Amino acid sequence: MAHIRLVSVSKKYYKNRPLIPGASEGEEEVIMALDGVNLEIRDGETMSILGPSGCGKTTLLRVVAGLEKPDGGYVLFNGEDMENVPPRDRHIGIVFQNYALYPHMESQQNIGFFFKLHDREDEIPERVHAVSKIMGIGFDKLLDRRPPTLSGGEQQRVAVARCIARDPSLFLFDEPLSNLDAKLRVQTRGELKRILARYATTGLYVTHDQYEAFALGDRLAVMNLGRVEQVGTYTDLYYKPVNLFVAEFLGVPPMNTFRGYVNDRGGWSGDDFQWPIIRPGLEEGDRVVVGIRPEHIRVEESAHSVPAVVDLIEPLFAERAKLLYTKIGLTRCNVRVGEAFPAKVGDTLPLTFQLDELHFFDTRTGARLG
């Protein structure tokens, strides 16, 4: 059982720390890899950590694992402060992006190494046998091979097996699938999900792939610049993003966002078009960003439709849909239509926005309005 809590955790790195200590002190540029992170991972849940490159995901995982010391704040496991608990006593299993298998050891030695290290060598055969059954068909064929002779996908399976053989209370995954090709990634993702569900072990799953984050995480935390922007289920994040960053980060393709202001008719005006409505509570002159997802725009004439020119068309085969990249004047707007929709590049189409699906954000702070 593991219930994890991070309280105001900060971690800073120094960019180009001078080689001679004190040499150019004060001029060092500080990177806040983690900037006051508060996060709770409930017992038995898998939390996906999603965010762009460099936002602090790996740092977060390393701090939870005890491989990095935070500069501020606390990491609590079941309410206990982990400050003085070394990684090996935290009952964690980690799978790194590059798998970090010992190259000179056969897979079964890789899996058993932890037990050898802890004078529990007699457990190894049973552990290897058990984990090999869990990992499924064909895994036993990998046991007597060394990592350099294995494919990326096979190494990944060995790394996961090594992690679960230790029976950890907490799984930590750092983009474990990113080296696999698209097909294998989906397959392995399913395998991993089954394993996670079977063990009901608490887990942290770091990725910058939204599909993976949704598929594996019970809840998601979206990070940006060392901060957690929002935590919630996929539905929470997708339909009620707390700010512009989350709104624009989630969704493939992402939400359309338009900058504008509240006009003297109580509506909203952008650079190239206007809307008759605005959220109550806003005043004339307020600068507001309006957002709408591509699937919430219909191609049809209406009292409020605006003309858009099709710029580019992209098929979305799996969804039996097409994505139209359009321009309303100079404003770009992506629209999702059914695969049979007869659009050509250069066509002018009337776009009707579903007004109840609009999102409003403060231009200055990016915060959601209402």
Q: Which does 55 bind (CB under 5 to 8 A by kind): ligand ATP, Mg ion, none?
A: ligand ATP
Strand, helix or coil at 184? helix
Q: Smallest gap, in angstroms, from Cβ of residue 198 to Mg ion?
A: 27
- Cα 213 to Cα 237: distance, rounded to the nearest angstrom: 12
Residue 13 binds to ligand ATP (criterion: CB under 6 A): yes
Whose Cβ is closer to ligand ATP: residue 16's or residue 84's? Answer: 16
First to last CA, the chain: 38
Residue 321 binds to ligand ATP (criterion: CB under 6 A): no
- Cα 294 to Cα 189: distance, rounded to the nearest angstrom: 27
Residue 169 binds to Mg ion (criterion: CB under 5 A): no
Asked if residue 91 lies in contact with residue 168, where contact means CB atoms within 8 angstroms, the answer is yes
Q: Smallest gap, in angstroms, from Cβ of residue 48 to ligand ATP?
A: 13
For the chain, the C-alpha Rg in angstroms (whole number) is 25
Q: Which does 147 bind (CB under 5 to 8 A by kind): ligand ATP, Mg ion, none?
A: none
Q: What is the DSSP string of 312-332?
A: EEEEEGGGTEEEEEEEETTEE
Q: Smallest gap, in angstroms, from Cβ of residue 58 to Mg ion?
A: 3
DSSP state of 28: P
Q: Which residues within the stretch 204-223 sit at the binding site for ligand ATP (CB under 6 A)?
A: 208
Q: Which does 199 bind (CB under 5 to 8 A by kind): ligand ATP, Mg ion, none?
A: none
- Cα 106 to Cα 52: distance, rounded to the nearest angstrom: 35
Among the listed residues 20, 25, 53, 264, the single contact to ligand ATP using CB under 6 A: 53
Residue 132 binds to Mg ion (criterion: CB under 5 A): no
Q: Smallest gap, in angstroms, from Cβ of residue 98 to Mg ion?
A: 11
Contact partners, residue 50, CB within 8 Å, separation at least 6 = 57, 207, 208, 210, 213, 220, 221, 222, 223, 249
Which residue type, as a one-letter code, is found at position 273?
Answer: F
Residue 341 binds to ligand ATP (criterion: CB under 6 A): no
Residue 58 binds to Mg ion (criterion: CB under 5 A): yes
Residue 71 binds to ligand ATP (criterion: CB under 6 A): no
**b or e along 229-259 (b: 16 or more beta carbons within 10 Å of the residue's beta carbon)?**
bbbbebeebbeebbbbbbbbbbbeeebbbbe
Among the listed residues 35, 56, 229, 294, the single contact to ligand ATP using CB under 6 A: 56
Whose Cβ is closer to ligand ATP: residue 13's or residue 199's? Answer: 13
Q: Smallest gap, in angstroms, from Cβ of residue 12 to Mg ion?
A: 17
CA nearest to 49, candidates 216, 182, 185, 243? 216
Residue 224 binds to ligand ATP (criterion: CB under 6 A): no
Q: Near Mg ion by CB under 5 A, which window of 52-60, 69-77, 246-254, 287-295?
A: 52-60
Among the listed residues 6, 37, 45, 58, the single contact to ligand ATP using CB under 6 A: 58
Q: What is the 3-state secondary structure (H, E, C) of 222-248?
A: EEECCEEEEEECHHHHHHCCCEHHHHH
Q: Smallest gap, in angstroms, from Cβ of residue 242 to ligand ATP?
A: 20
- Cα 157 to Cα 64: distance, rounded to the nearest angstrom: 23
Residue 35 binds to ligand ATP (criterion: CB under 6 A): no
Q: Smallest gap, in angstroms, from Cβ of residue 87 to ligand ATP?
A: 17
Residue 132 binds to ligand ATP (criterion: CB under 6 A): no
Q: Which does 31 bind (CB under 5 to 8 A by kind): ligand ATP, Mg ion, none?
A: ligand ATP
Please give the residue ranges that form the binding site for ligand ATP (CB under 6 A): 13, 31, 33, 51, 53-59, 208
